[in-house]
């Protein structure tokens, strides 16, 4: 079981970083979708997640059931919408307080288990918007093009 827990920690960490990066990158685009389109996409995703949750959690567990999961899905959707610069759709509260604890930075005893935490180093710190190659060619990162 420790291996499964560790792999879930790694997956959760990476998914969070990918989401943060995607939202930050989207906010830099010159040509963003209208807010109504973003909200429609997220609302459709919420509907699909709720349908899946009803099937996956057809039996209530202690502290978790399909209704609470639906509320959590809406909470996460609102947080994503805000990260994308949009208004909330659901104004849902997090029904699982323990979920916030998962994302807190942890300390691991090196001798007891493998370390799944890492510091979010300033990967881009010191990186300038303009860089020169060894040949003197300038590279510029822009978000003026659509994907």
Model confidence pLDDT, tens digit, residues 119-143: 554 444 444 444 555 566 666 667 7
Domain count, the chain: 2
Is residue 85, in this structure, part of any structural domain at all? yes
Is residue 57, in this structure, part of any structural domain at all? yes
Q: Residues 6 or more apart from 9 whose CB is under 8 A from it?
A: 116, 117
**What is residue 127's predicted lDDT score, i.e. its pLDDT?**
45
Is residue 84, in this structure, part of any structural domain at all? yes
Residue 51 and residue 12 share a domain: no
Is residue 120, in this structure, part of any structural domain at all? no
95, 115, 136 — which closes off a domain? 95
State if pTM tops 0.75: no
Residue 43 and residue 15 share a domain: no
- Residue-wise pLDDT for 26-54, tens only, equals 999 999 999 999 999 999 999 999 999 98
Instruction: Return the structure tokens found at 60.
Output: 């209530």
Cα dihedral angle (75, 80, 85, 86), rounded to 10 degrees? -50
- Residue-wise pLDDT for 70-106, tens only, equals 999 999 999 999 999 999 999 999 998 877 776 555 5
Residue 37 and residue 91 share a domain: yes
Q: Domain range holding 39? A: 33-95
Residue 43 and residue 4 share a domain: no
Residue 56 and residue 90 share a domain: yes
Q: Are 95 and 71 in contact (CB under 8 A)?
A: yes
Is residue 77, in this structure, part of any structural domain at all? yes
Residue 79 and residue 38 share a domain: yes
């Amino acid at each position: 079981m420790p291996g499964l827990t560790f792999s879930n920690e790694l997956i959760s960490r990476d998914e969070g970083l990918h989401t943060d990066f995607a939202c930050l990158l989207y906010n830099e685009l010159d040509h963003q979708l209208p807010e109504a389109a973003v909200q429609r996409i997220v609302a459709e995703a919420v509907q699909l997640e709720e349908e899946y949750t009803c099937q996956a959690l057809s039996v209530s567990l202690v502290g978790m059931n399909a209704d609470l999961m639906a509320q959590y899905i809406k909470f996460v959707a609102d947080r994503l919408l805000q990260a994308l610069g949009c208004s909330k759709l659901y104004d849902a509260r997090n029904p699982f307080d323990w979920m916030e604890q998962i994302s807190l930075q942890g300390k691991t005893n090196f001798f007891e288990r493998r370390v799944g935490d890492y510091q979010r180093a300033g990967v881009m710190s010191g990186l300038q918007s303009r860089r020169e190659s060894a040949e003197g060619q300038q590279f510029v990162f822009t978000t003026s093009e659509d994907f």
